[in-house]
Structure 1
Amino acid sequence: MKKAGVDVSDKVLSIEDVAEVDFRHAKLRTAMAERGLDALLAYAPAWRRENVRYLTDTTIGAAAAFVLVTADDIRAFSTRLADVTPLRQSGWVSRADVIALPDAAALADALRGSGARRIGVGHLELLPLGFERAIRGAVTGAELISATKLFDAVRMVKSPWELRRMQDAAHVCDAAWKAFVDVLEPGLAEYEIVATVESEIKRLGAEDNFMLIASGKDEVLGMTPPSRRRVEVGDMVRTELTPQTGGYWLQICRSVTVGPPSDAQQRSFELFHEAAEAGVAAVRPGVTAHEVATAENDVFRKHGYGEYCSDKWTRVRGHGLGLHLDEFPIIEGNHTVIPEGATFIIHPNTYTPIAGYHVFGDQVVVTADGARRLVETERRLFSSDEGSLS
């Protein structure tokens, strides 16, 4: 691995970056050894690039990219020529090459030269047949084993380096929520609200944003992409904001009323706030994801709304975030033990007949003392009547 201060690929890594690169490589090679793998191959289709980003810290634009991890080398491959230069310049890999089907020659040559026979493939389940044939053709008798869960487990615990990136994304979340409340007024279309928020997020340097919204009263059953519906006095507007900054996604879920909240809207918020607080209180190293979800769901059961914890009305009580926006662990029906350093959002988002679908939740990091929130936005029901939050 390149050392700090030594320029071998047009970029000099800082001491902190070198330590992070070596830390990630060591984690992956330990996982390889535990599973008896000769090599790891991270595959990135256009919509699941988190493992390649983890190994390169580079934004990839290709329809397909790979990173090959062996005992003594890390190489990157992309089907997009424009990716090769930033990959080479990143300083995170020893070499980067362009590849194309049918033979994916550079990748095939690297696999052949590695002598690997048991190859763990991240996102093997998504690997196109053409690439599978090229890999098997390069290494006669190769055994391809899914390493998707291996990569998920390795990425679940965030390093201090990663948490600094995620804290930057948290600041963007806070600013985006402020923009959301500040712009809200009767007569605006959902898409106009989202456009304002997107503009602020991009102004702050975010690479991307995944955002859902819903407006209305107790008839709202869930959130969707922004529509042409115009908000009205008495509405509650719900949103899930998920900006990506420095490769890392971070999410906040909040609701705001157009005008003063009704008694039903306030009671709904209090129910969801209590459920989220119960989930946060359950977090500690060694707890399972399912136990966190159960703590949230028990609040609904206590108040007589247990039926709305089913998959008829909701999906999960939270999920991991990091280099992917909806990743391991899922906080519902998942008995994965959550270690210190894991990050996820706790959100008891669901429908109840009190005031319709409601969203409320914050992303947390697991510490030795429990959950630490990454966002600073107040945990309350907001109103458009408040004006600016500044």
Structure 2
Amino acid sequence: GLGIEMSSLPAATSEKFKSRLPEARVVDCTKLVSWLRLVKSDLEIEVMREAAAISDAAMKRASEVIRAGVAEADAAAEIAAALIRGANGKPGTALKAFYLCASPRIGTCHIPWTGDVFRDGSQINLELGGTRHGYSAGLMRTFSIGAPSERLRRIHEAQVEGLEAALAAVRPGSTCSEVANAFYKTLRKHGFEKETRCGYAHGIGWLEPTASLRDGDTTELKPNMTFHLMLGNWIEDDFGYVISETFRVAGTGAEVITNTPRKIFEI
């Protein structure tokens, strides 16, 4: 048989295989390699720790340059430089897309900076990730120029508690669904909902399209699996909040490899 990842193969190329190898049995092996790489080697984990250190350095730089009167694009340029400069003498080896969503666009995910300037009262939702040799470590934090609103404080407290509950549910043998539901249950207790998954397998090329931290995913956690616990929550057209961590499944629980304070960065 001939295994081919049919989901990413152009139809014309697929037909070439069939015409030139008429006796071969073509088998769709979509995501096979992705599933095999779900459990990382110790060397891969070390590279992801290097990427996580870059993520932390870039988030720290963001906290230094996000100010009222600063152009979003200028802040983004400084953050990009930090992602490339790296950390601990190890540069970032690629610049993955990162998302800087500032008021009034904070109810939307995955949008870039603009030419606008930050203002007093602005909220900024930032998602970024350092990259080393193709391996990324995602990190999200929320910024407030001035005192955060009561609504922002409430959802921050709820989501941090949910994040900690999800991490506490991580151990070899537990499932993605159990981790996700620990978060969802805690969030509902505070009167909030998150309708989408709360994380995904993470590493090479950022997104590894296999296991998801969502209700119903029965993928069993194993040591050295890595995930982005992604708790972006876009609640209304003009309001959202983000926080995330990258973690490794360790022998007895979760090892969080990003190391940025779990707070609203009040500027």
- Same fold flag (TM > 0.5): yes
Query: Matches of 2:258 and 2:181 in 1, distance apart?
Result: 24
Q: Which residue of 266, 279, 282 corresponds with 2:153?
A: 266
Partner of 1:351: 234
Are 1:191 and 2:77 matched, yes or no? no
The amino acid across from 1:359 in the alignment is: V
- Whether the aligned pair in 2 keeps the contact of 1:198 and 1:209 (CA below 8 Å) is no
Query: Matches of 2:188 and 2:151 in 1, distance apart?
Result: 18
Q: What is the RMSD computed on CA atoms of the aligned residues?
A: 1.8
Deviation at 1:173, TM superposition (A): 0.2
- Whether the aligned pair in 2 keeps the contact of 1:296 and 1:348 (CA below 8 Å) is no
Query: Matches of 2:207 and 2:265 in 1, distance apart?
Result: 26
Deviations 1:105-140 (A, max 9, x none): xxxxxxxxxxxxx1222x321101232233223322
Q: Which residue of 242, 248, 253 corresponds with 1:370?
A: 253
Query: Matches of 1:252 and 1:326 in 2, distance apart?
Result: 13
Partner of 1:318: 199
Query: Matches of 1:326 and 1:230 in 2, distance apart?
Result: 31
Query: Matches of 2:142 and 2:225 in 1, distance apart?
Result: 26
Runs (4 or more) in structure 1 with deviation over 6 Å come to none
Query: Matches of 1:239 and 1:146 in 2, distance apart?
Result: 38
Look up the SS of the partner of 1:309 in the other structure. Answer: coil
Are 1:309 and 2:198 matched, yes or no? no
Are 1:162 and 2:49 matched, yes or no? no
Count of matched residue pairs:
258
Query: Matches of 1:234 and 1:268 in 2, distance apart?
Result: 17
Are 1:239 and 2:122 matched, yes or no? no
Query: Matches of 1:271 and 1:216 in 2, distance apart?
Result: 21
Deviations 1:37-86 (A, max 9, x none): xxxxxxxxxxxxxxxxxxxxxxxxxxxxxxxxxxxxxxxxxxxxxxxxxx
Partner of 2:144: 257
Deviations 1:146-197 (A, max 9, x none): 2223212211001101011111101110110011110011122322221110
Look up the SS of the partner of 1:301 in the other structure. Answer: helix
Deviation at 1:235, TM superposition (A): 1.9
Identity of aligned residues (%): 26
Q: How does 1:289-308 map to 2 (within 5 A)?
A: 289-305=176-192, 308=193
Partner of 1:221: 107
Q: Which has the larger radius of gyration?
A: 1
Are 1:120 and 2:3 matched, yes or no? yes
Deviation at 1:283, TM superposition (A): 0.7
- Whether the aligned pair in 1 keeps the contact of 2:106 and 2:123 (CA below 8 Å) is no
TM-score normalized with structure 1 length: 0.63
- Whether the aligned pair in 2 keeps the contact of 1:222 and 1:350 (CA below 8 Å) is no
Runs of at least 5 residues in structure 2 that lack an aligned partner in the other structure: none
Q: How does 1:42-53 map to 2 (within 5 A)?
A: none
Runs of at least 5 residues in structure 1 that lack an aligned partner in the other structure: 1-117, 385-390
- Greater relative contact order (Cα 8 A, min sep 6): structure 1 or 2? 2
- Whether the aligned pair in 1 keeps the contact of 2:54 and 2:129 (CA below 8 Å) is no
- Whether the aligned pair in 2 keeps the contact of 1:350 and 1:358 (CA below 8 Å) is yes
Q: Which residue of 8, 11, 18 corresponds with 1:129?
A: 11
Deviation at 1:232, TM superposition (A): 1.4
Query: Matches of 2:77 and 2:230 in 1, distance apart?
Result: 24
